[in-house]
Amino acid sequence: MEERNELYPVFLKVNKLNILVVGGGQVGHEKLHFLFKSSPNAKVEVVAKWFLPETEELAKKHGAKLTKGRYRRKYLKNRHFVIAATNDAKLNKRVYKHAKKRYLLANIADTPELCDFYMGGIVNKGHVKIAISTNGKSPTAAKRLRQFFEEVIPENVNQMVENLNEYRSNIKGDFEAKVDQMNSITESLKVKNKSDD
Ligand SMILES: C[C@@]1(CC(=O)O)C2=NC(=C\c3[nH]c(c(CCC(=O)O)c3CC(=O)O)Cc3[nH]c(c(CC(=O)O)c3CCC(=O)O)/C=C3\N/C(=C\2)[C@@H](CCC(=O)O)[C@]3(C)CC(=O)O)/[C@H]1CCC(=O)O
Ligand SMILES: NC(=O)c1ccc[n+]([C@@H]2O[C@H](COP(=O)([O-])OP(=O)(O)OC[C@H]3O[C@@H](n4cnc5c(N)ncnc54)[C@H](O)[C@@H]3O)[C@@H](O)[C@H]2O)c1
């Protein structure tokens, strides 16, 4: 049978979670850049022996704490998840092992076998957000799909969401009546006449 993507996407409130990033070089910067692009108020501390100037700038802009020094296990304390992106493969593995011992979710950048979750390609239009994963098969394809959807999804999709949100708060009736009404006024958005599952 054809292999399928069994990952379960969730949308994390990273402004309420404590994230540790280990490593502040090229790869660390990329991960941080996409994290803040999607979630400007994410709560992040980065620990690294040195940082790229652009990482220092990004951290300043988003209020991330930069800690200069070697990684120590104690940095994992009070974190919800950790992203490691150092140029020391052994260290990255150690971070993963330490995280596992604490039941902490870990993403060792660019290393699928050491990831509890993958970072995805992200399309953002106001309240609407679409996350893309290729099951770790092709990050480049995830990037290209992100660019494609950024182009084709209309900017006014957010207006539709805002309007429906307001409409919903004004309709009367029990839960079922509301669901029926919401489905009925959005009927024309369905592309094909398939079941609603
Ligand atoms: C989507 C995105 C999100 C983000 O980074 O936030 C992301 N990678 C991005 C770009 C990108 N990364 C790499 C290239 C160079 C081209 C190439 O080598 O293919 C490019 C493209 C470029 O930069 O043009 C290098 C790379 N990445 C991974 C490997 C290992 C491997 O593939 O086995 C290698 C090779 C390392 C080596 O050779 O040593 C692995 C992972 N990268 C993932 C996410 C996870 C899977 C996501 C999925 O399920 O699709 C996963 C599994 C784990 C993780 O890191 O979370 C972001 C696009 C953001 C955007 O533009 O929107
Ligand atoms: N740069 C790329 O595009 C690229 C692409 C594919 C794979 N990789 C691989 O990804 C890894 C990371 O690459 P990079 O380009 O970000 O490396 P880099 O040299 O730019 O950055 C490494 C970072 O790790 C930190 N670091 C190293 N040892 C540390 C320690 N003991 N404690 C805390 N911080 C420590 C450094 O201070 C630095 O911030 C490398 O293994 C590289 O081979 C990089």
Q: How far is Cα 169 from Cα 146, in angstroms, rounded to an integer? A: 32
Q: Is residue 196's pLDDT more than 70?
A: no
Are 30 and 83 part of one and the same domain? yes
For 98-110, what is each residue's pLDDT tens digit? 999 999 999 999 9
Residue 91, in any domain of the structure: yes
Q: Which of 21, 22, 27 to mutate to test the pocket of ligand 2 (most atoms within 8 A of CB)?
A: 27
For 85-144, what is each residue's pLDDT tens digit? 999 999 999 999 999 999 999 999 999 999 999 999 999 999 999 999 999 999 999 999
Ligand 2 atom with the shortest distance to the CA of 91: 31
Q: Closest ligand to 111 CA?
A: 1
Q: Is the CB of 95 under 6 A from ligand 2?
A: no
Are 90 and 146 part of one and the same domain? no
Q: How far is the CA of 170 from the centre of ligand 1 (A)?
A: 44
Q: What domain range is 143 assigned to?
A: 120-153
Q: Which two tokens stand for residue 178?
A: 């509301």
Domain of residue 31, CATH code: 3.40.50.720
Ligand 2 atom with the shortest distance to the CA of 51: 39
Q: How far is Cα 126 from Cα 107, in angstroms, rounded to an integer? A: 27
For 24-56, what is each residue's pLDDT tens digit? 999 999 999 999 999 999 999 999 999 999 999
Are 106 and 125 part of one and the same domain? no
Residue 192 pLDDT class (50, 70, 90 cuts): low
Nearest CA to ligand 1 atom 15: 140
Q: Closest ligand to 109 CA?
A: 1
Q: Whole-prediction pTM value?
A: 0.93
Are 130 and 109 part of one and the same domain? no
For residue 191, the model assigns a pLDDT of 76
Q: Beta-strand (E) ranges in the chain?
A: 18-22, 43-48, 65-68, 81-84, 105-108, 121-125, 128-132
Residue 3, in any domain of the structure: no
Which of 73, 74, 82, 72 shows the shortest CA–CA distance to 104?
Answer: 82
For residue 197, the model assigns a pLDDT of 62
Contacts for 44 with CB less than 8 Å, ≥ 6 apart: 19, 20, 21, 32, 35, 59, 62, 64, 65
**How many domains does the structure of the chain reveal?**
3
Q: How far is the CA of 86 from the centre of ligand 2 (A)?
A: 4
- Secondary structure string (H, E, C) spanning 67-99: EECCCCHHHHCCCCEEEECCCCHHHHHHHHHHH
Are 175 and 139 part of one and the same domain? no
Are 75 and 148 part of one and the same domain? no
